[in-house]
Structure 1
Amino acid sequence: MMKYEVVVTSIGDMASELMESTGDLIIFDTCPLDGLEEISIMHTTGEIKRPIQVGDRVTLGKTQYTITAIGDEALKTLEELGHCTFKFTGSDTVELPGQIELRGEGHPEISLHDIIRIEGN
């Protein structure tokens, strides 16, 4: 069941570099601070249709991941700003409250107009 779905509208010049060096993929629909667009994936406005939880699947472009942990603030900022930080370590704990930990194969390749989708039971 689809819980959240948006479309990539722009990719910051340094977003891929940040993901490769730190394992962080930052997304926003509306970026509140100047400069964050350079390191972020921007997307259409979305709405959380059902509660997102550990075990749900996240599709980033053509690559699918499983949520292993959700920070205390991640779903609130996802709803309000379309913002969270996806981390690709598969850990069952987060380092920061706005992170969503993912388990899967490597880092995604994301292009303009790709879909970011969260689905589960």
Structure 2
Amino acid sequence: MKKYEVVVNEIGEAMAQLLIQDMLVLFDENAPTDLSSFSVNHSKGNLTEQVAVGDMLYLGDRSYKVTAVGHRVNHILNQMGHATIKFDGADVTRLPGYIHVKGKDPVHISLGEKIVIAS
């Protein structure tokens, strides 16, 4: 079941620097101006159910298993479309807005790709 689905509509020019660090920062269309250069901005989404360990994150055709979810993720994802995806497979979050996932690191993100979180 899909819990969250959005479409990438802008990619910050410095976003690749975070991908090298195995991180991806997401914001919806209301991203703070000072953070938009480091983030992937996407369409407004509707979180229908809380993100939980064991869910799947899809970036286009690539899939990742959710291994840990920060205690603020569901609130800020619903309010601002914001989360930081950390591709390290950790089972404990370092920061309250992190979603940790396991899977092959993304090498690119493209305009028009869907970002989906599903159970």
Residue 112 in structure 1 maps to residue 108 in structure 2: no
TM-score when normalising by structure 2: 0.95
Q: Does the aligned pair in 2 maintain the 1:58–1:117 contact within 8 Å?
A: yes
Q: Give ranges in structure 1 of 5+ residues lacking alignment.
A: none
Structure 1 segments (4+ residues) deviating >2 Å? none
What's the RMSD between the two structures over aligned residues? 1.0
Q: Does the aligned pair in 2 maintain the 1:55–1:67 contact within 8 Å?
A: yes
Offset at 1:61?
1.8
Offset at 1:108?
4.6
Offset at 1:53?
0.8
TM-score when normalising by structure 1: 0.93
Write the distance in 1 (CA, Å) between the matches of 2:107 and 2:82: 18
Q: Give ranges in structure 2 of 5+ residues lacking alignment.
A: none
Identity among equivalent positions (%) equals 37
Tell me the equivalent position of 2:7: 7
User: Which amino acid is the alignment partner of residue 7 of structure 2?
Assistant: V
Write the distance in 1 (CA, Å) between the matches of 2:40 and 2:109: 9
Q: Does the aligned pair in 1 maintain the 2:19–2:107 contact within 8 Å?
A: no
Write the distance in 2 (CA, Å) between the matches of 1:105 and 1:18: 15
User: Which amino acid is the alignment partner of residue 5 of structure 2?
Assistant: E
Aligned ranges for residues 90-101 of structure 1 at < 5 Å?
90-101=89-100
| Range with bigger deviation, 52-61 or 104-113 | 104-113
Offset at 1:19?
1.4
Tell me the equivalent position of 1:39: 38
Q: Deviations over 1:43-97 (max 9, x none)?
A: 0000111222100000012210000000011111000000000000000011111
Write the distance in 1 (CA, Å) between the matches of 2:27 and 2:53: 21
Q: Does the aligned pair in 1 maintain the 2:22–2:105 contact within 8 Å?
A: no
Write the distance in 1 (CA, Å) between the matches of 2:93 and 2:24: 14
SS at match of 1:50: coil
Q: How many residues align?
A: 118
Write the distance in 1 (CA, Å) between the matches of 2:43 and 2:105: 25
User: Which amino acid is the alignment partner of residue 25 of structure 1?
Assistant: L
